[in-house]
Structure 1
Amino acid sequence: MPDMKYILVTGGVISGVGKGVIASSFGTILKSCGIDVTSIKIDPYINIDAGTFSPYEHGEVYVLDDGGEVDLDLGNYERFLDITLHRDNNITTGKIYQQVIERERRGDYLGKTVQVIPHITDAIQEWVQRVAHIPVTPDHMPPKVCIVELGGTIGDIEGMPFVEAFRQFQFRVKRENFCCAHVSLIPMPKSTGEPKTKPTQSSVRELRGLGLSPDLILCRSEKPIHHNIKEKISNFCHVTPEQVICIHDLTSVYHVPLLMEAQGVVQYLNERLQLNIAMPRPGRFMQKWYNLARSIENVRKELNIALVGKYTKLEDSYASVTKALQHSCIAAGCKLNLKYIEAVNLEKNTKFDDPVAYHKAWQDLCKSDGVIVPGGFGQRGLEGKIEACNWCRETQKPMLGICLGLQAAVIEFARNVLNLKGANTTEVDPNCEDKLVIDMPEHHPENLGGTMRLGKRRTYLEPSVVAQLYKKDVVEERHRHRYEVNPEYIEQLEAAGLRFVGKDETRTRMEVAIVEGHPYFVTVQFHPEYLSRPLSPSPLFLGLILASLGKLKHYLLKGCRLSPRNQSDVSSDDEENLSMSSLNISKNGETVTEINGIH
């Protein structure tokens, strides 16, 4: 069996420079060459996983098939690469130290003094090698390339053990099997108006001082970088100009793999890692991604979707929801105009009451073509979500409710249709008169981490618009919740018109609820956004977008088939022109000016 190849992606100058998208793009390019890849994300924090993070602290918590609660970058990997990762694909300092301490307690180290070197660094290397060989595709074949993203910034004290581990690792797996790609910022101060390379020089110098030499330097900038800047980075950072890849701010992340490929990444990785890739014929390579990127640029019709959430101050809190909406808009041939509405601003006469924000929130909601009510935890904003559900139900506005969105819709229906004014969730009011939403028996409140109903589970669907959209009566989606609809109220709710058309394998836990006679009022207990892909959008998100466009009935009548879109049709004859001239990149990767007219 050939040796596993590793690509380590590090970051310099600032955090949030785009390592996740760039690491995903490496995988996308290699997959387009017929090479199976896997990904590992390293987070140098002491938390065991991301499950207890506040969305304001770290963005959304991404959930995997096996129930792992992980960093949102693993969502990028799964979406870009269309693979299924596992909880061990996310390494944290907490996990490593926990493993080493457990070994020490068992006596595995035979009484030796346990230290960062070699015990922690060895544990990191062993973990990476073990996880790299786990199959991530349906054919269960082990991948050939593992892309490892090291979170944080080079020089951070918490990341030092990982940097040292990979310094040793490059010799452990041999040079031809290890490649380091360093992502760095090229700032452009307004006072001078020119790119500054000194921060990148310092970052690369620090990386070298720690024992890792970058094979590729990926320069992130606001605007395209001229070739003389590449030459300067090449001279001062001890690499050839071909090893300097420039990535400026783009209108869509789907352009990033194309931009990297056009600058010779395939050729370099093929030689550096001895991948033995039969170089793809220009005009055929990455055709689906060219089609996708081109279709995004060509859409003109805008669709206004309102997201009624609890954590709207940080857009990363709803990263997967936003991506799933974008995937569906691309498929439907429209441009997403997403408006974030803070749920508390829809509430009146509360301690959060702000008259200006209240009227602005309701104005934004009324202007929307469709509404999405995503998940969340705690009391704050719940009444605002209930108000949004009530407005959508009464005005016949298309709505998709997810997790807490389903629970809010059930409470709203009970209050305003069944006239159960004391209806609530025990999460907010344990002593409420009508407990419409209750905690699950398996929930253990004394320990918040990993105690929810997590991961992929089956839902059995009854004939409905949901079953039509999925084209099946049994679906598997990922879950993350502690509360469920109280089975004691199901009969009353269904008699009044709220149908529960999806249930778990026991047929006692409610998974999907719809309002009869409504154009599109679908609420689900699971999180369909996690399995949405750029080229295969989530059926429920697509249903919301089509209903908001007034095209859902036609789509269902056609057997859930979308009409071909002219903007995404790229013939093999003009693929070469699209791959080079629309990116405006010369064959040797010297200049980058614009993408499809977007500077």
Structure 2
Amino acid sequence: MKYILVTGGVISGIGKGVIASSIGTILKHCGLHVTSIKIDPYINIDAGTFSPFEHGEVFVLDDGGEVDLDLGNYERFLDVTLHRDNNITTGKIYQQVIECERKGDYLGKTVQVVPHITDAIQDWVENVAKIPVTEDATEPDVCIIELGGTIGDIEGMPFVEAFRQFQFRVSHDSFCCVHVSLVPQPKSTGESKTKPTQASVKELRGSGLSPDLIVCRSEMPIVEEVKQKISNFCHVKPDQVICIHDCTSTFRVPLMMEEQGVIEFFSERLKLAIGTPRPKRFMWKWRDLADRHDNVRKVVEIALVGKYTQLEDAYASVTKSLQHAALCINRRLILSYIDATSLEEATKVDNPVKYHQAWQILCRSGGVIVPGGFGKRGMEGKIAAITWCRTTNKPYLGICLGLQAAVIEFTRNIMNWKEANTTEIDPSTAYPVVIDMPEHNPGQLGGTMRLGKRKTIFHGDSTLKKLYGNVESVDERHRHRYEVNPEFVEQIEKAGLQFVGRDETGNRMEIIELPNHPYFVATQYHPEYISRPLKPSPPYLGLVLAAAGKLQTYLNNTMSSNTTSEDGENSDEELAGILRRNMSNMSLSGASAPATPLQFNVKSPQS
């Protein structure tokens, strides 16, 4: 087993997760099996109780683990299935050590950070690194470990000390450290400042770890003289300093790293069994995807109506899923975030300009999505947006709370149950069409929701069933505590709203659709968690297709691969063929290209 530790310096949020994912992507294209571990030094047991404003999105895994959003990056880039133990927190480590102390496992010794906490960290990493993360159950060859925060943070010190020891626990050829550091470029001078990187590397060395590779994050490319300066002052060779500057998309990052020789570096440093020479079309799927992202001309506009719109990371997986779907049909996504409260009548009185601007954005969009969330704030604004989509035939996708809000809107305005509500907001409502799940809420919040991968069985014919490929059931990830009240289901269906997907018991409503509407779909599960760049989530693909006016073409399957429109763009028929080829078992992590590569007729923007 080989271990690559990724640390950060100067500031947090400079892209350690993308760098770590990109390293894994490159090594996986070289034929290696890769897994990832994310370390978060906070004391929380997991990310489940975080406010999205605090730490961004809570990502959910197949086994129900509520983890840091970086694990979403790992799964999307590496096309693997991770587990709750792939996310280590200070809370988990201390909880484990305290439980061992209570059981007497330490034989009466004084329990200390060194060696008990540091040993627990090392044992955890070694054990988790061996867990298979692919369908073939192959044990990984390389484990990439991202240490959250920045070097020097007091809460991260036990982890740094653990890895100082760990480098001697495994052989020199089995462990290396990648340090990601900011190289600021002040606009006043235009110079690349290396002093922050020098300071962070000095701090890292003072903790007993020496960087083998320094990744410089900057706004613009850095010149060779700057690399040479960092090399001199940080005691690494010049070819061990690489630059990742701001680029058009994260799809470019693995390509930039590969071009700067990281494969040769890791192959030599870790004695990896990487075959040479590499295939002629090495990483061709990534290049194709990055090129399409940069060159696509036509756009599709989607409005996201949510509660946490001040922080885009709060909807990271939703955004990525929409991007995957848009790229799949050769469209550039224009995503507008609308604070749900801005659509409410109270805002019309208090701030009419904000109110009218929000409705203007909503009205001009090609489609609307209401993602998951909790609490009362903004609920009436979401319902107002859903009413507008239903009555104007605007494509709509609801996720989790978006499904619940759609059921409330329908029962209020079609069935005339004006007091219909969720018991989360109004426990005494006369029409509790959305209710709590008491068996998943035993008096505490953390880890008590319906979490992880569950089966949804389709009932009857539906648009979403067709988008999934006419399968009888799907397995998707859940994260919710409230659901549609089964006592009202029969009356709601008689009024016209169809529950086309249910759980295995038939009592939990998973999917709703409104007949005779271009696209009015909502799911109780979160399909964004398993969306992939070349295999977009079907519900999101349906929304984007409908917003682009292409859904019916795709569903009708009237494809003709040789037909191209006069302007050189893909015709509707060719689009259907592209979509089907894109979604037929394609994986970004493959090491070789198929005999017949995908063909995309995309023109570069005119100069």
1:403 is displaced (CA, Å) by 0.1
Alpha-carbon separation, structure 2, partners of 1:517 and 1:294: 38
The residue identity in structure 1 corresponding to 2:510 is E
Q: Structure 1: which 5+ runs fail to align?
A: 569-574, 576-595
Per-residue CA deviations over 1:443-473 (Å, capped at 9, x if unaligned) read 3262000000000000001221111000112
Query: What's the offset of the Cα at 1:351?
Result: 10
Q: Does 1:243 align with 2:240?
A: yes
Partner of 2:204: 207
1:467 aligns with 2:465: yes
> 1:208-262 CA deviation, whole Å, 9 max, x = no partner?
1100000000000001111111111111111111100100001100000000000
Does the 8 A contact of 1:440 with 1:483 survive in 2?
Answer: yes
The equivalent residue for 1:579 is: none
Aligned equivalents of 1:535 and 1:45: distance in 2? 34
Contact 1:21 1:76 in 2 (8 A): yes
Q: Report the Cα distance in structure 2 between the residues aligned to 1:254 and 1:385, rounded to whole angstroms.
A: 33
Closer, same or farther in 2 for the Cα pair 1:298/1:490, shift >3 Å?
same
Q: Which moved more, 1:527-536 or 1:441-450?
A: 441-450
In the alignment, the residues of structure 2 paired with residue 256 and residue 280 of structure 1 have an alpha-carbon distance, to the nearest angstrom, of 22
Following superposition, the deviation at residue 441 of structure 1 comes to: 3.0
* Aligned residue runs from structure 1 range 126-141, under 5 A: 126-141=123-138
Pick from 46, 53, 57 the counterpart of residue 56 of structure 1: 53
Are 2:26 and 1:29 equivalent residues in the alignment? Answer: yes
Contact 2:3 2:176 in 1 (8 A): yes
CA distance in 2, matches of 1:63, 1:45: 18
* 3-state SS in 1 of match to 2:438: coil
Letter in 1 for 2:69: L
1:345 aligns to what SS in structure 2? helix
Is 2:32 the counterpart of 1:18?
no
Q: Is the 8 A contact 2:553 2:576 kept in 1?
A: no
How many angstroms apart in 1 are the aligned matches of 2:173 and 2:346?
Answer: 66
1:349 aligned residue = 346
Residue number in structure 1 paired with 2:262:
265
Please point out which of 414, 423, 429 is paired with 1:432.
429
Counterpart contact for 1:345–1:353, Cα < 8 Å: no
In 2 relative to 1, CA 454–222 (structure 1 residues): closer, same or farther, beyond 3 Å?
same
Alignment match, 1:481: 480
| Residue 280 of structure 1: how far off its partner (Å) | 4.2
Match of 1:47 among 35, 44, 50: 44
- CA displacement, residues 550-588 of structure 1 (integer Å, 9 cap, x when unaligned): 1111101118973349xx9xxxxxx9xxxxxxxxxxxxx
Pick the aligned partner of 2:306 from 304, 309, 327.
309
Amino acid aligned to 1:137: T
Match of 1:516 in 2: 515
Can you list the C-alpha shifts for 1:176-235, whole angstroms capped at 9, x where unaligned? 000100000000112211110000001101101100000000000001111111111111
* 1:169 and 2:166 are equivalent in the alignment: yes
Give the alignment's TM-score, normalised by structure 1. Answer: 0.93
Task: Name the aligned partner's letter for residue 480 of structure 2.
Answer: H
Q: For residues 351 and 303 of structure 1, what CA distance do their matches in structure 2 show? A: 28
Q: Distance in 1 between matches of 2:237 and 2:398?
A: 52
**Residues 350 and 189 (structure 1), Cα distance of their counterparts in 2 relative to 1, 3 Å cut:** closer
Counterpart of 2:438? 441
Query: Which position in structure 1 is the counterpart of 2:596?
Result: none
Contact 1:33 1:280 in 2 (8 A): no
Would the aligned equivalents of 1:307 and 1:338 in 2 still touch at CA under 8 Å?
A: yes
- Cα gap change, 1:66/1:196 in structure 2, threshold over 3 Å: closer, same or farther? same
Deviation, structure 1 residue 350: 6.3
Letter paired with 1:563? G
The CA deviation string for residues 5-59 of structure 1, in whole angstroms up to 9 with x for no partner, is: 0000000000001000000000000010010100000000000000000000000
Specify which of 91, 94, 104 is matched with residue 101 of structure 2: 104
- Does the CA-based 8 Å contact 1:343-1:385 persist in structure 2? yes
2:72 is aligned to 75
For the residue of structure 2 that corresponds to 1:340, the secondary structure is strand
Q: Does residue 274 of structure 2 align to residue 277 of structure 1?
A: yes
Code of the residue aligned with 1:504 in structure 2: it is D
SS in 2 for 1:60: coil
Counterpart residue type for residue 357 of structure 1:
K
1:368 aligns with 2:365: yes
Quick check: 2:441–2:481 contact (8 Å CA) kept in 1? Answer: no
* CA positional deviation for 1:433: 1.4
The answer on whether the counterparts of 1:427 and 1:439 sit within 8 Å (CA) in structure 2 is: yes
Counterpart-to-counterpart distance in 2, 1:242 and 1:559: 53
- Counterparts of 1:223 and 1:165 in 2: how far apart (Å)? 35
Structure-2 change in CA distance of 1:458 and 1:559 (3 Å): farther
CA distance in 2 between counterparts of 1:281 and 1:268 reads 15
CA distance in 1, matches of 2:75, 2:576: 24
String of CA shifts for 1:319-338, please: whole Å, max 9, x gaps: 00000000001101000000
Match of 2:385 in 1: 388
Which 4+ residue blocks in structure 1 deviate beyond 4 angstroms?
Answer: 350-353
> Structure 1 residues 524, 488: CA separation in 2 closer, same or farther (over 3 Å shift)?
same
Residues 382 and 306 of structure 1: CA distance in aligned 2, closer, same or farther (over 3 Å):
same
Q: Does 1:216 align with 2:230?
A: no
Match of 2:498 in 1: 499
Deviations 1:379-409 (A, max 9, x none): 0011111111110000000011000000000
For 1:330 and 1:61, locate their aligned partners in 2 and report how far apart those are by CA, in whole Å.
25
Distance of 2:130 and 2:437 partners within structure 1 = 36
String of CA shifts for 1:482-525, please: whole Å, max 9, x gaps: 00101111111111110000000001110000001000000000
**8 Å contact kept, 2:404–2:434:** yes
Alpha carbons 2:47, 2:58 under 8 Å: kept: yes
2-structure distance, mates of 1:353, 1:183: 46
Structure 1 residue aligned with 2:227:
230
CA distance in 2, matches of 1:172, 1:117: 15
Question: 2:41, 2:522 → 1: CA distance?
Answer: 37
The answer (yes or no) to whether the contact 1:344–1:352 under 8 Å persists in 2 is: no
Tell me the number of residue pairs that the alignment of Structure 1 and Structure 2 aligns: 566
Structure 2 residue runs without a partner (length 5+): 560-574, 583-592, 594-603
Question: Once the 2 structures are TM-superposed, how far is the Cα of residue 162 of structure 1 from its aligned partner?
Answer: 0.1
Give 3-state SS (helix, strand or coil) of 1:371's partner: strand
Measured in 1, the distance between the counterparts of 2:383 and 2:518 equals 19
Match of 2:577 in 1: 563
Counterpart CA distance in 1 for 2:68 and 2:402 is 23
Where 1:526 maps in the other structure, the secondary structure is coil
| SS of residue in 2 equivalent to 1:358 | helix
Taking the aligned partners of 2:269 and 2:513, their CA distance within structure 1 comes to 54
Looking at structure 1, the residues matched to 88 and 112 of structure 2 have their Cα atoms a distance apart, in angstroms, of: 19
Give the letter for the 1:95 counterpart: K
Distance in 1 (alpha carbons) for counterparts of 2:506 and 2:72: 30
Letter matched to residue 292 of structure 1 = L
Partner of 2:92: 95
Tell me the C-alpha RMSD between the 2 structures.
1.5
Contact 1:345 1:352 in 2 (8 A): no
Corresponding residue to 1:86 among 83, 87, 98? 83
The offset of 1:353, in angstroms, is 4.3
Q: Is the partner of 2:31 in helix, strand or coil? A: coil
Counterpart amino acid of residue 353 in structure 2 = V
